[in-house]
Amino acid sequence: MLDLIVRRVRLPGSECLTDIGIADGIIVKTGEISDSARRELDGCGDLALPPFVESHIHLDTVLTAGVPRWNESGTLLEGVRIWSEYQSGLTRKDVLDRAQKVIEWQMVQGILHVRTHVDISDPNLTALYTLLELRETVSPYMNLQIVAFPQEGLLACPGNQERLEEAARSGVDALGAIPHYEHTREMGVESLRTCFGLAEKYGLMVNVFCDEMDDDQSRFLEVTAALALSSGLKAKVTASHAVALSLYPDAYAVKLFHLLQRAEINVVACPLVNSVMQGRFDRFPKSRGITRLKELWEAGVNVSLGHDDILTPFYPLGTGNMLHAAYMAVHLAHMTGYAEIEETVNMVTTRGAKTLQIEEKYGIEPGKPANLITLPVTSKFDAVRLQPKCRYVISNGRLVARTWPETSELCLHESPSLVEFHR
Ligand SMILES: [Zn+2]
């Protein structure tokens, strides 16, 4: 007997409905299933997807917006200053309460794989040790990856090199750097060498904050890619943001694309945050803020999306919904073709799984862990257009969250009529 059967769901691109049979936390069969199970769920013809992947968020900073004050200029620099003030009074309980609440929001919204950055500029490393603890607590139902991130610079901030190594020893999943934030170009390059050296020493992945500024001279993506290639870490390396790429001359960008392809690194864009953080120094015309997302994808570079911030000094809005990030990507990257819109869903599912290096265990196929979500739409296109919440979220074979789809009625006549946003 199976543990769970999710009946009548639609896999992407399929005309017909299928059942998904689960036993011992593993998908054991798909198709029409005649077996019985301890529990059955009616999939209602919904679209079934593997869970959303959050490729880039900061669980240590979430839900702090407005404390000690709001970021009135909206700039990254003011955001860093406000966060630094908040960080000086950080406690374990505070980090835990905020991060746990956002993890609940994420689960309800179908996110079961999360890569979070944690700032190690705090001499006490309070957030780091709290999130490492939380990673274990949530591991039965949520896969949390932790990146040690030196927000104030690896070399520019005294003690951060030592703390990066301490984080590596403490069991983080990846190491970070922020080369464009160092005092000089040379220090930026050296910070990347340090980061890659430690990643090799401890067998970890690398996730660099790369060229997150409106400066066409910020050229650390090439250094990151070159080190990914020479170290052999390749697909274990991710560059987040890379917004300066949108400002480079085309001749240089084309050369860089070849290097990115050879290096096989991943690029993560954060369209919500990039759209408000970048272009702050522009008068008119104002830049769109996002990296060359569509062009990277067309060139065969793995690109995925992050929500990045939720109610922080860097971004005042957000619920964590990955479809919001996809929706914004469609707009900022001019990805309005039908296939392009559907592709943005891949950027928050399968492509995110590639960034996190979890592809082997990811996907709705027999033999893989039973992690899946169902959305009350019939296509990825409508998932982006309507951004519905998940009807069911299943983690390791267990129903962990559900949302009743909302219904709207028109009340012009005696008996109200149901209005659906489908063609
Ligand atoms: Zn970020």
How far, in Å, from the CA of 207 to the mean position of ligand 1?
A: 11
Tell whether 70 and 183 lie within a shared domain: yes
Rounded CA-CA distance 77/258 in Å is 32
Decide if 202 is inside a domain. Answer: yes
How far, in Å, from the CA of 315 to the mean position of ligand 1?
A: 10
- Expressed as residue numbers, the domain containing 19 is 2-50+363-409
Tell whether 251 and 265 lie within a shared domain: yes
pLDDT value of position 422: 86
Q: Are 53 and 348 in contact (CB under 8 A)?
A: yes
Tell whether 180 and 35 lie within a shared domain: no
Decide if 382 is inside a domain. Answer: yes
Distance set, CA 81 to CA 153, 187, 252, 314, 343 (Å): 13, 21, 33, 10, 36
Distance, first Cα to last Cα, the chain: 40
How far, in Å, from the CA of 266 to the mean position of ligand 1?
A: 15
pLDDT value of position 381: 98
How far, in Å, from the CA of 309 to the mean position of ligand 1?
A: 7
Tell whether 264 and 405 lie within a shared domain: no
Q: Give the domain-ending residue among 313, 339, 357.
A: 357
- Residue 298 among the catalytic residues: no
pLDDT value of position 13: 87
Tell whether 195 and 323 lie within a shared domain: yes
How far, in Å, from the CA of 209 to the mean position of ligand 1?
A: 7
By the CB criterion, residues less than 5 angstroms from ion ligand 1 are 308
Averaged pLDDT in 10-residue chunks for the chain of 423 residues: 97 94 98 96 98 98 96 91 92 98 98 98 96 98 98 96 98 98 98 98 98 96 98 98 98 97 98 94 92 98 98 96 98 98 98 98 98 97 97 98 95 95 86
Whole-model pTM: value is 0.97
pLDDT value of position 134: 98
pLDDT value of position 96: 98
Tell whether 25 and 171 lie within a shared domain: no
Tell whether 30 and 72 lie within a shared domain: no
How far, in Å, from the CA of 208 to the mean position of ligand 1?
A: 10
How far, in Å, from the CA of 347 to the mean position of ligand 1?
A: 17
Decide if 39 is inside a domain. Answer: yes
How far, in Å, from the CA of 117 to the mean position of ligand 1?
A: 7
How far, in Å, from the CA of 422 to the mean position of ligand 1?
A: 35
Decide if 127 is inside a domain. Answer: yes
Tell whether 334 and 382 lie within a shared domain: no
Dump pLDDT digits (tens) for 1-25.
Answer: 999 999 999 999 898 999 999 999 9
Q: Give the domain-ending residue among 323, 338, 357.
A: 357
Which CATH number goes with the domain that contains 403? Answer: 2.30.40.10
Decide if 417 is inside a domain. Answer: no
Tell whether 46 and 84 lie within a shared domain: no
- Which amino acid belongs to residue 90? L
* Residue in 182, 212, 222, 343 annotated catalytic: 212
Distance set, CA 225 to CA 163, 263, 265 (Å): 24, 6, 7
Close Cβ partners of 289 (under 8 Å, ≥ 6 residues apart):
243, 246, 271, 274, 275, 276, 277, 278, 279, 332
Tell whether 247 and 176 lie within a shared domain: yes
How far, in Å, from the CA of 276 to the mean position of ligand 1?
A: 13
Decide if 416 is inside a domain. Answer: no
How far, in Å, from the CA of 142 to the mean position of ligand 1?
A: 20
Q: Give the domain-ending residue among 357, 378, 397.
A: 357
Close Cβ partners of 153 (under 8 Å, ≥ 6 residues apart):
160, 178, 181, 182, 183, 187, 191
pLDDT value of position 76: 86
The two three-digit tokens of residue 51, written as one number: 């869970």
Q: How many domains does the chain have?
A: 2
Tell whether 79 and 219 lie within a shared domain: yes
Which CATH number goes with the domain that contains 155? Answer: 3.20.20.140
Decide if 419 is inside a domain. Answer: no
The two three-digit tokens of residue 223, written as one number: 């250094």
Tell whether 45 and 107 lie within a shared domain: no
